[in-house]
Amino acid sequence: MADRAGSARDAAPARSGNEFAPRRVPQPRSRSRPRPNDAEIPLATRFDTAYIVASIPALIDGLGMTVLVSALSIALAVAIGIAGAALRVFRVPVIDQLIQGYVEFIRNTPLLVQIFFIFYGLPPLGLQLSPFWSGVLALTIWGGAFNVENFRGGFLAVAKGLREASLALGLDRFLYLRLVALPLGLRVAIPSVLNTSVSVLKNSAYLQAIGLAELTFVAMDKLSSDFRTLEMFASIGVIYLGLVLTLSWLVRRLEFRLQRPFRTA
């Protein structure tokens, strides 16, 4: 028995003391993210001024269309506002109610719906307009509705005694409007007319929905192929800001000249 026990001990492998020592758990290596170079930065987060410079010719073409459609719409909207306000102030029967309904309808419906109705809804009725004239008509109708109220407020601000004096001098309604109400009422209405004109200019961007190649349409067309959203939207934002500031400066110059006779030395 002793020999068997001795042989069993000899056959058992010798265990070192290190086998009973606690094992070290390997720690995960820290994965520090390397700093990306320019090639690894996503395309949309790099501001490329060279791309803006290359896009200037296309943006100028869109800018020209925006200025043209906005200038026509603003001028026609002012004419509609003066005529509609005069008819409302003089309380012409039936026409006064029709103009009031037109103003309420336009001011309480979305402009984009009006644009779609003119471009897509009128052709089945036999009136088909190009994208340019559809845009001019939509912006004119929209701006005219607001200008009716702008000029009506200016005409009503004219002192009632001036109207009575003009009637006593034998002036008819047209002469009173041209010689008294319009020169005086325009001075009062200019700030609100400026706001409407600025809105017409900015709302011309909606016309890209019907395919008019204005500024926003050109930008969206380039984005569909280049995907440079940061540069393109920054560019047209600066352009629209410049247009609005220029329009505001011109109207303020006009207001300054109209107020010259009423300023004291």
Determine the pLDDT at residue 25: 52
CB atoms within 10 A of CB 66: 26
Across 15-119, where does the E strand assignment appear?
A: none
How far are the Cα atoms of 79, 82, 144, 151 from residue 93, in angstroms, in the given order? 21, 18, 20, 19
Q: Return all residues near 10 (Cβ < 8 A) that are at least 6 apart.
A: none
Mind listing the pLDDT tens digit for each residue in 67-113? 999 999 999 999 999 999 999 988 888 999 999 999 999 999 999 99
Which phi and psi (to 5°) does residue 192 adopt? -70, -35
| Euclidean distance between CA atoms 126 and 118, whole angstroms | 12
191-230 per-position pLDDT tens digit: 899 999 999 999 999 999 999 999 999 999 888 888 888 8
Is the pLDDT score of 163 beyond 90? no
Cβ–Cβ under 8 Å, residues 239 and 87:
no
What would the pLDDT profile of 239-249 be if each residue is shown by its tens digit?
Answer: 999 999 999 99
Can you tell me the distance from the alpha carbon of 153 to that of 185, in angstroms, rounded to the nearest whole number? 8
Structural domains of the chain in order of their starting residue, each with its CATH number:
56-257 (1.10.3720.10)
3-state secondary structure of 264: coil
Residue 232 to residue 240: CA distance in whole angstroms: 12
Contact 77/200 with Cβ under 8 angstroms? yes
pTM: 0.78
Phi-psi region at 127: left, alpha or beta (left = phi > 0; alpha = psi -120 to 50): beta
Residue 6: band (very low, low, confident or very high) from pLDDT cuts 50, 70, 90: low
Q: What is the DSSP string of 95-109?
A: HHHHHHHHHHHHHTS
